[in-house]
Structure 1
C-alpha cells in the first residue's frame, strides 16, 4: 500500500479473510525464517522481524483488526480518485512547469498507523485495569477469612496463657479482694486517712515510663501541657490516628504523634486514657 500505512495481510502472506489459526501458522513460519537470533547483525532480518511481530499483534486482536481494516479501506478508497487526477495532471504538465500536486490521502496515510497503535494501546491498558480490579476484589474477599482466623488464633493463645499461668492469675485476683476485706473490717482512723491522702495524690501524678502504641478512639483527643493541665494551643488528633506513648501519670498518657506525610509535623503532650486505646504489641 502507498504511504506509511502498512499492509499487514501482505506482510504475513495471508488473505483478508484469514482466520486466527491461519494467521498464527503464517506468523510462526515467518518468524522462524526471519528471526534475528539466526541472523545476528543483519539489519534486514531485524526489520522484517519487527514488521512480522507488529502485523501479528494487530491482526490477532479482533478489535484492533477491525479498526485497522476500516482505516485501511478508507485510505485505499481515498487514494484511488486522487491517483487518477494526479495521473491526468502529470500527462498535461510539461517538464519544468512545477512540482507535482500533493495527494489528498497523504494525511490519512500518515495518521492511520498512529491511530491503530493508539487504539491497540488503549485496549491493552483497559485489559490491565480490569485485571487489577479483579485481583483487588479477590484480595478483599480473602481478607475477612484471614481476619477471623487471626482472631481465633489470638483467642487460643490467650486461653493457653491463662491456663498455663492459672496460679498467677489466682494470686492477682485474690490480692485486691483481701485488701478490700481488711479495709472493710478494720477501717482506718481519721488521722491515718488524712496522712495517706497526699500519698494517693502523688501516686496519681507519678510519671511511670512505658512504651505503648495507642490509637485515638474519641472524635477529638486533645493534648495537655501536664496531666489535668491546660490544652496545648487547642491541639488534638481525630479518631483513628496512632500515637507512641512514653509515660503514664494517673489517667493520662504522655504521647508523641509524628506525621507520616509531613515529617516536620509533630505533636507531643498528655492525653486522657479514655480518649485512646492500647494497640496489640
Structure 2
C-alpha cells in the first residue's frame, strides 16, 4: 500500500468522523430534551412511590387531604404556579418548588396559622436526612416533582383567600420611645435570658437554629438565610431598634412572620436572649 493511498484513507476517515459528529451535534438538543423528559418522568414515578409509602396516610391517595390528619396538596391555590395565591397569602416570596422542598425536607415544627381552624392533630415531621428524616435529597426532589405534576391542582382551597384591605399607615414610633418600653434593667439578668430562651425555643429555633446560627430546619428554601445571632460582626450593625422592628413586624419578604402574639415583655426577653451570644444588650 503506497503512502499516498494511506494518506487518502486517513483523510476520508477524518472527513467521515467530522460528518458523523456534525450530524450527531445537530440532533444533540433533541436528544438532551428527550433525556431530560425521561429523567423527569422517572423522578415523578419515584415520587409517586415515595408518596404512597410516606404521605398518603395524612394527605390522601390523590392529595385530597384527610380531615384531622393533613391538608390537601392537590389544590388550586397551592399549585397555581403563575399566580401563586397561597404563597402570597402566607407571604412566601420564593417559588412553589422551593416551598414544597422546604416543607418536605424540614417539616412543619409549628402549626400554620392558615390551618388554625382545621383541627390537624400532629405536626408534619422532617423527611430529609439533613434534618434527621429518612429521605435523601434526590428522594425529596422526587416528591416535589410528583406534587408539582398535579398542577394546576384539582381541589379547592382549604381556606378562602381574601385580599386584605390596606389600612392607614401607622405613625412611626420614635426610637427613643421604643427603647423606653424595655421593662427590665439592661444588661438583663440570667433569669430574663432563661425566659427569653424558652420563648425562642418554642417560636424561633425552627428557623434560627438551636445555636442561634440561622441554620434551623425551617430555614431550608427561604428567600434569605435567617439571621445568625452568633455572628458578632453582623450583629454589631443590627441595633436594638432594628431587632425590635424585625420581631414585631417580621420580615415577610424573607419568610419571617410578625410576632404580634408576643407581649412587650416577651418581645424584649427574646431579643435579649438572641443578643446574648455577642452580649450586645446596650442601645
Same fold (TM over 0.5): no
Normalising to structure 1: TM-score of the pair?
A: 0.25
Q: Comparing both structures, which one devotes a greater share of its residues to strand?
A: 1
Normalising to structure 2: TM-score of the pair?
A: 0.25
Q: Comparing both structures, which one devotes a greater share of its residues to helix?
A: 1
Which of structures 1 and 2 has the larger relative contact order (alpha carbons within 8 angstroms, sep 6+)?
Answer: 2
